[in-house]
Structure 1
C-alpha cells in the first residue's frame, strides 16, 4: 500500500510539473532546488520565449534568416575540429560541422537546431531555464527513444575515434547516452581524450532525432595526483575540500567528463571495511562538512572573484554514494559480491549513516546548486523486524527510495553498476527476478537511470511490464520523469550548448607542473605523524641528514590472461634519486642473479642482495621503511567456511567474534522430525568465529621492518612510512619504530602519492598537520568488540609514548595537535539527521 501511495505521489508531482511549466512558473519543478536563478541558461532581458503547454512542450519559434538583421553571434573553427559560436551576452555554443546540425537565428542570436526541424524548439533555446528545456524535450520523445536513456554503461572505445560498428557506436545509434570511463582522466591520455570526447559527442549529435549529447562519467574522485577521499578526510579542512572540489571539476571538465560517480560518503564505522579507501572518515559531522564543501565546489561554476554562478561550464554533476549504510557491512565485506549482501545495525544506528545525504549532499550550504545526484548501495540493510525494509539492494528498496520521495528529494538517481544483469555485481538481492522484471522494479521505484548496463532490450522489456501492470499513462509518466531528470542533469552542466573540448585548455588544466605543485601541497596536508619519539623528525636546520634505504625483494608474478609474467627483482624501497634531494643516501647493493628459470635464464633470488655494512649504517641518522598496511578480507572458501577479516600482519584466529552472524539469508528446508515431513525456515550463519585468516599479503613489509630494526645501531632512528588502506593493529609495528608517518596512498588510482611528499616531512622541511580520521584499534579483539554501525566506539591503541591513536589525533613538531579542527570535531559523534524527520519502515 505504501508503495502504491508513493507511486501515486510521484505521478501527481509530475503532473504538477507539467501544470507549473504550462503557466510559465518553474519554481516547483523537479530539481528546482538545483536551479540557481532561472538557471545558467537565462537569456538576454529583451528576449521573450513562449510558455509551455499543459503537456510540457514549449511552442517552437520560427527563426529569421540566418545572418539577417542585427547579428549578435560569430563563428570560429577550433583547432580540434569543432565549431565555436559566441553569442553577445548569451551562451557560447559548440557543434560539429560533420554532424548534420546547423545554426538557426532568433532575435539576432544563434541557436543549434539539434532536431534539424528548422524551428527553435524549447529545449534548444538557451534563454529558457534548464527545467523548462528538460521538460520540453522529455515531453516530446517516444517510448522507443526514451527507454535507452534508462541505461548508463561503460564507454569501451577509448582511442582517437569511434569505429563504426564498435560497441559504443551501436549503443549510441540505438539511443544510449550514458557511460563511464577512467581513461579520459588518466595521465598521458589527455591528447587522446580530447579527440575521443569530440568524436563521441559528434556521433551523438548526428544520431537520433534530438541531438542528445553523451554524459561521460568518471570514478574515482582524484585526478592529476590530487588527494583522494581518505586523504582529504585526514586534513579535517573544509576550505581545502571546497577548493579541491572547484579545481577537480575544472580538471574533469577539461577532458570532457561531466559527471563524477562520487564522492563516496559511506561512514567507515567498522575498521575492517573492504571499501574504506574511497571514504572520508567514520565521524558523521566531519563526513557531513567535507561532503557539503566538496560537492559545493564541484557543482557550481565559480567566477574568479568567488561569485557562485550556479550550474555552468565548470560544473561537474556529483553522484553521492552509496545511499545508505554501506559503511556498516557485516564482516567488512565488499558489497560488490554476495559475501557483502548485508549491512548490519546492531546499535540501531542507521540514522547516523543518512547525515551526509540529507544534511549535506541534498542540502548544500555553500552552493546554490543545492542538491547532488545519488547512487543507492548494493547491499540490503538487515533487520529482523522489517524496520529497514525488504532485504534487497538500495535501488530496489521501497523504504530507502521512499524516504527520498517522502522528504522532497528531487535530484538524479543513478543506480550502482550491473544490478539488473544475471550474475551482476548487485543482482544478488533479486535473484528471483528476470532481467526485465528487475528493470520494471527500478522504473516503479523511482530510479532515473541504471548504471553499468547497455542492455537496451532489457530496459524496453522492463517498461513493457510496467505498462502491462499500471497502464500506458502511468507507465509513460514514470518513464518521462526518469528521462526528464537525466536530461536535466545534462542541461545543468551545459552539454546542450557545448559538449566539445579543446586541447589547449586541457593541457593547461590537467597533468602539468602547476597541478603537480598543487597536488604536492595537498598531499603534505594529509600526512599524519603518529609517533615521533625524541623528536626523530624535527624542523630542518638546512643540513642534510644521512638515511639508509634498504632494497626489497619482489617475487615477480606468473603470466595471466590479462598480464605477462614479471621476473623476480631487487629494488630500493624508495626512489633513490628523489631521496637524494633531501638526504645523503646509504643503501644496499645487488649482485648478479644466481637463480635460473625453467628455460635456464638467470633470475634473481632472495640471496642476491648485499646489505649495507655496520660501518655504513653507523653513520646513518635514520632509516626509512615504506610499508603497506595489512588488510585481509573476509571470504567464503570452497568448503563453505567464512574466513575472518584481519588488519594485522600475522595470521589471526577469530576467537572472540560472534558465533552467529546478524545477517543471513533465510531459506525454507523440508525436514523429517520423526513424525513426518514439514517445512522449516533456516537462517544462514555467516560467522567466521574460530576460523583463521592467513598472514597478510603485505607480511614481507613487516619482515623488512624487523630486519632493519635489528640491523641498524641505536643511533639510527627507524622511520616507518605507512601507506594505509584501513585502520590497523599497531602492536606489530609501533614498538619497532621511532617515528611513524601515515598516509593514504592506495586507492582505485594507486601510485599517485609522491615520494617527495613523504621525504619533505621526514627531512623536516614540511611540518605534518594531518589528523586521524579513523580510529586505530588496540587489537583484533577490540575490532570484534565494536559495533559495525557505530562511529568511534572502539578501544584504541596506546603507543610507547603514551599517545592514544584515537580519532582526531596527530602530531606536529611541537607535539600533540590541539587546534580548532580538533576542538570542533573531537566531540560526541552525531547520530541524528537534522533536515528530515527520520522514520523506520515499520513506522509508516
Structure 2
C-alpha cells in the first residue's frame, strides 16, 4: 500500500494531466482508426486527421461546436427524430419479410441511417437471447460508423424489468424481473429503488440500451387512468423520493459513459385525465384540474430536475383551462418554454411522446390519428414547426426529417434554432461516451443480464411489495402440504409445490384465486386503444356472483393484481384473506401465502369503496374518494 501511495503521489506531483484513451473494446471493433503521437483515435469522418469532435480529450462543448459545423441540414434534421425499429431475433440488420412484433411495420434501423440520417432509435421486441440484441447493436454501430460523419446511434427502450401484465412494459426476455413501480412505492425503500435502477442500468449497458424511456412519475390521482401501473402511486412526496433514488441508480451523480440517460415522463404530470381516458387516442376528453391542483403534479418533476434527469417527455394531454392555448403539452409553449425551460431552467433534451405528427393506418378502415390534440387542422409540416417553437428538441416515434429540412429551406425555421436542439442531443451522446466507445462486449452479456443474485433481489421485491389487506382470524400464512386447494388464475404445477391442488371448490379445504383489476374496452375501432385498461374498476354482476359463490363454498384467499385501484367491497368482505400484488409470479405469491416470505407492502393509492365514489372524485387530487375501502398507506403484516 505504501508503494502504491508513493507512486500515485509522484504522478500527482509531476504536473502531468491524465489523458483519456479510447476503450479497448472500441479499438477492437472500430474500423476507422487514426494514430497520433502514440495514441489511437476514431477517425469518424475518415479524413485522416484528428478533428476536434473525434478527440476524446477535448472539452465536450468544443467537440459539439466542431461537429455541428460539419453537419448538413439533413444530418441535423435526422438527429431530431427517434422512430421505433425492429430487432431481428438472429441479430441481423436487414428488414425481414416475416418480421413480427411492434416494430415489424417500420423500416430497419440501417434504412433510417442511410436514407434519413437518423441516429436515435427506440426498440420494442428484442431477441429472447439478449446476447443477440448485443450482436444487433454492435452491427448497427458499425454501420453508423461508416456514415459520412460516423455519428453513433443511441438506443432507447421502454421498461423491460418488471413482472407485468400490461402493454407498457416490454417483454423481459432474460432481464431481471422486479415488481412494477407501484410495488416499489408500496415497499417504500429508497435504497431498494436505487438498487433496482442500478441493476437495470447494468443490464441495459450490457446490450447497448443507453436511454431509458422511464421513469414515469405521473401521479395516480384518477384511479381509472390506464397507465397507473407505470407510476409510483398517487402521493407526490413519495414519488419524489422514489424518482430521486431511481435517477441516482440509473444516471449516477453525473451523466457519463457508465450511465443510462433517463427520459423522465410525462411532464407536467399525465395522471388527471378526465374519466381516465388516455390521450393516446381521440376518445380522450382532456387533462383536467377540478381541484385546482396543477402544482401538486409538478412536485415529482422538481425532484427529477434536482437529480439532473437527462431528458423530459411531455404527455399527449391538453392542460384544460391552464394555459393560453387549449393544445397538447408538446405543442404548448407555456408548458415547454415558460414552465419547463424558464421557470425550472431546464436545458436537457425534451422529446415528444410518440406519434404527434403522422397518422397511422392500422387497417383498411382504421386510422390512428396523430396525437395533435388542439391542432388537428395543422399540416404535418406546421405541426413540426409548432412543436419546435414550443421548445421541444426531438420527435418520438416519428421519421419525418424532410419536414425540418423543408422548413429551413423555406425560411420558416432558423437553422440556429435547430442547432440549439442539436447541441442538447449531441451533448447527451458525448456525455454517454458514445463517440469514443459505442460498442459492447457481446461475450459478457450472459454474465450480466439476469444474474442469479439480481434475480434473487427481483423476486424479493415481488414478494415484499405484496400488500396484506385482510387476514381474518390470522388465516394467513397457510401451512404447506397440509391442505387441498382449489385455484384459479394460477399455474397448478407451481401451487402443487405447496399444497395438493383439487379440481373443484367442493373438494377443497381452501381456495386461492388470483384476479386482475377489472377493465372494459373503450368504444373505438382502434385495436390498440381497445387493449388499454380503461373503464370501470369493479367486477360486474355475473363474474362477481360467480366469485362470491366460490367464497361461500370454501374459505378463500384472494390475490388481486393492482394495475389500477380495484373496487372490490363485496369480494373483500367475502374473502377469508385478501392480498394485493403489483406484478408477481405465482411462485412469489405462494412464497408469501405459505409463510416463506412476508408481505411488507403499503398501498401506494387508496382503493375506493364504489364506482360512485370514483366518479365523484376530483381528478387531480390524491386520496379523494369518499369512505375508501382501504386508505393510502394501508397494509397489514403477519
- In the superposition, the TM-score normalised over structure 2's length comes to 0.86
The aligned runs of 1:189-204 (5 Å cut-off) are 189-204=129-144
The number of residue pairs the alignment matches comes to 584
Query: Is 2:625 the counterpart of 1:737?
Result: no
Find the counterpart in structure 2 of residue 664 from structure 1: none
1:299 is aligned, of 209, 232, 251, to 251
Deviation at 1:100, TM superposition (A): 4.5
Q: Does 1:162 align with 2:97?
A: no
2:177 is aligned, of 225, 249, 259, to 225
1:671 aligned residue: none
Aligned to 2:304: 361
* 1:331 Cα offset (Å): 0.8
User: Could you tell me which of 416, 421, 432 is aligned with 1:482?
Assistant: 421
Task: Establish whether residue 807 from structure 1 lines up as the match of residue 638 from structure 2.
Answer: no
Q: Which residue of 2 aligns with 1:754?
A: 585
**1:314-354 CA-partner distances (Å, limit 9, x unpaired):** 31110011112310000100110112251000111111111
CA contact (8 A) 2:495 2:501 kept: no
The 1:587–1:313 alpha-carbon spacing in structure 2 relative to 1, beyond 3 Å, is: farther
SS at match of 2:68: helix
The answer on whether the counterparts of 2:87 and 2:123 sit within 8 Å (CA) in structure 1 is no
For structure 1, list consecutive stretches of 5 or more residues without a partner in the other structure: 1-43, 49-87, 301-307, 365-369, 553-572, 589-610, 639-643, 652-698, 746-752, 799-804, 814-844
Name the structure 1 match of 2:35.
Answer: 104
**Secondary structure of 2:271's partner?**
helix
Distance 1:736 1:707 in 2: 9
For 1:293 and 1:132, locate their aligned partners in 2 and report how far apart those are by CA, in whole Å: 32
CA contact (8 A) 1:392 1:430 kept: yes
Aligned to 2:452, which of 502, 508, 513?
Answer: 513
Q: TM-score, normalised by structure 1?
A: 0.66
Counterparts of 2:95 and 2:607, CA distance in 1: 53
Q: Which moved more, 1:289-298 or 1:502-511?
A: 502-511
Helix, strand or coil for the counterpart of 1:777?
coil
Give the one of 676, 693, 710 matched to 2:552: 710
The one of 482, 494, 502 aligned to 1:578: 494
In structure 2, what is the Cα distance between the partners aligned to 1:458 and 1:737? 59
C-alpha separation between the residues in 2 aligned to 1:129 and 1:795?
58
Q: Secondary structure at the match of 2:40?
A: strand
Q: Which residue of 2 aligns with 1:378?
A: 316
| 1:355–1:372 distance in 2 versus 1, CA, 3 Å | farther
Partner residue, 1:205: 145
After TM superposition, give the deviation of residue 766 of structure 1 in Å.
Answer: 0.8
Is the CA contact (8 Å cut-off) linking 1:268 and 1:281 kept in structure 2?
Answer: yes
Q: Corresponding residue for 1:600?
A: none
Which has the larger helix fraction?
2
Cα distance in 2 for partners of 1:428, 1:463 equals 25
Which residue of 153, 168, 172 corresponds with 2:113? 172
Of the three residues 332, 337, 341, the one matched with 1:397 is: 332
Which residue of structure 1 lines up, in the alignment, with residue 171 of structure 2?
none
1:445 equivalenced with 2:287 (yes/no): no
Equivalent pair of 2:131/2:442 in contact (CA under 8 Å): yes
Distance in 1 (alpha carbons) for counterparts of 2:585 and 2:412: 57
CA change 1:129–1:426 in 2 (3 A) is same
The yes-or-no answer on 1:153 pairing with 2:93 is: no
State the distance in 2 between where 1:149 and 1:637 align.
34
Q: 1:450-509 CA deviation, whole Å, 9 max, x = no partner?
A: 0001122223223345xx236xxxx12111111111111111221112111223321112
Aligned twin of 1:236:
188
Q: 1:482–1:269: structure 2 CA closer, same or farther, 3 Å change rule?
A: same
Q: Is the 8 A contact 1:631 1:726 kept in 2?
A: no
- Which is greater in Rg? 1
2:227 paired with 1:266: no
Task: Name the CA shift for 1:247/1:164 in 2 (closer, same or farther; >3 Å).
Answer: closer
Distance 2:336 2:40 in 1: 41
- Is the 1:719–1:738 contact (alpha carbons within 8 Å) kept by the matching residues of 2? yes
Q: 2 CA distance for matches of 1:446 and 1:169?
A: 29
The one-character-per-residue Cα deviations of 1:122-151 (angstroms, maximum 9, x if unpaired) are 221112343332333223322122111111
> Alpha-carbon deviation of 1:97?
7.4
CA contact (8 A) 1:94 1:499 kept: no
Distance 1:92 1:791, change over 3 A: same
Instruction: Name the CA distance, whole Å, in 2 between partners of 1:189 and 1:769.
Output: 33
Distance 1:732 1:45, change over 3 A: farther
SS of alignment partner, residue 545 of structure 1:
coil
Counterpart position of 1:435? 380
Q: Conserved in 1, the CA contact under 8 Å of 2:261 and 2:309?
A: no
2 CA distance for matches of 1:287 and 1:139? 42
Match of 2:364 in 1: none
Contact (CA 8 Å) 2:156, 2:211: kept in 1 or not? yes
User: Which residue is equivalent to 1:183?
Assistant: 125
Matches within 5 A, 1:393-472: 393-402=328-337, 403-407=339-343, 408-422=345-359, 423-465=368-410, 468-469=411-412
After superposing the two structures, state which structure 1 stretch, 511-520 or 374-383, moved more.
511-520
Residues 216 and 786 (structure 1), Cα distance of their counterparts in 2 relative to 1, 3 Å cut: same
Q: Give matches, 1:511-660, under 5 Å.
A: 511-538=450-477, 544-550=481-487, 573-581=489-497, 583-588=498-503, 611=504, 614=506, 616-617=507-508, 620=509, 622-632=510-520, 635=523, 645-650=535-540
Residues 531 and 250 from structure 1, CA distance in 2 versus in 1: closer, same or farther, beyond 3 angstroms? Answer: same
Moved more, 157-166 or 518-527: 157-166
Displacement of 1:312? 2.9
Query: Given that residues 332 and 633 in structure 1 are in contact (C-alpha distance below 8 angstroms), is that contact kept between their aligned partners in structure 2?
Result: no
Which residue in 1 is equivalent to 2:559? 721
- Unmatched runs of 5 consecutive residues or more in structure 2: 1-13, 97-106, 162-174, 360-367, 527-533
Q: Is the alpha carbon distance of 1:181 and 1:636 closer, same or farther for their aligned partners in structure 2, counting shifts above 3 Å?
A: closer
Farther-moved stretch of structure 1 (421-430 vs 95-104):
95-104
Distance 1:45 1:226 in 2: 48
Report how far residue 424 of structure 1 moved: 4.0
Report the aligned-residue RMSD. 2.5
Select the structure with the greater relative contact order (CA < 8 A; seq sep ≥ 6): 2
The answer to whether residue 177 in structure 2 is matched with residue 247 in structure 1 is no
In the TM superposition, residue 425 of structure 1 has moved relative to its aligned partner by 4.3
The answer on whether the counterparts of 1:438 and 1:462 sit within 8 Å (CA) in structure 2 is no
